[in-house]
Amino acid sequence: MDMPRHDAISTGQEPPVTPMIAHARFSIGEVVRHRMFDFRGVIFDVDPVFANTDEWYDAIPEAIRPHKDQPFYHLLAENMESSYVAYVSQQNLVPDDSDEPVDHPAISGLFTSYADGRYRLRQEHRH
């Protein structure tokens, strides 16, 4: 007995289109700089696609609002005035070539050491 097929071949329909998702260019522990704004930071988490609130996303001016279908990075960030946590799209990050450590109070809780432009994640935070 032949079982009915429920795929694109049997129905004549095109298969659903899967959006292209960019691969992460940066990794946890890497020091990066924002492309447009004057801050830098160390990456402590990566979302393969946008995973923040719609309110946060809608607050970004439309002219510079990034696409959601790209990696977004959680940074322990700093600028000339303060340190904070930032959430930044991949398109807005570039490698930081200053070879200077990031001055953020939470770094010692997540990372052990700094060398060659990157931090080493503490053993208890690795999977």
Across the range 66-80, mean pLDDT stands at 97
Q: Is the pLDDT of residue 5 over 80?
A: no
- Give 13's pLDDT tier (boundaries 50, 70, 90): low
- Give me the percent of the chain exceeding a pLDDT of 90: 77
Beta pairing class for 111-115 and 83-89: unpaired
Q: Which residue has the tokens 């946060």?
A: 56
DSSP 38: S
Instruction: Identify the structural domains of the chain with CATH numbers, from first to last.
Output: 20-125 (2.30.30.390)
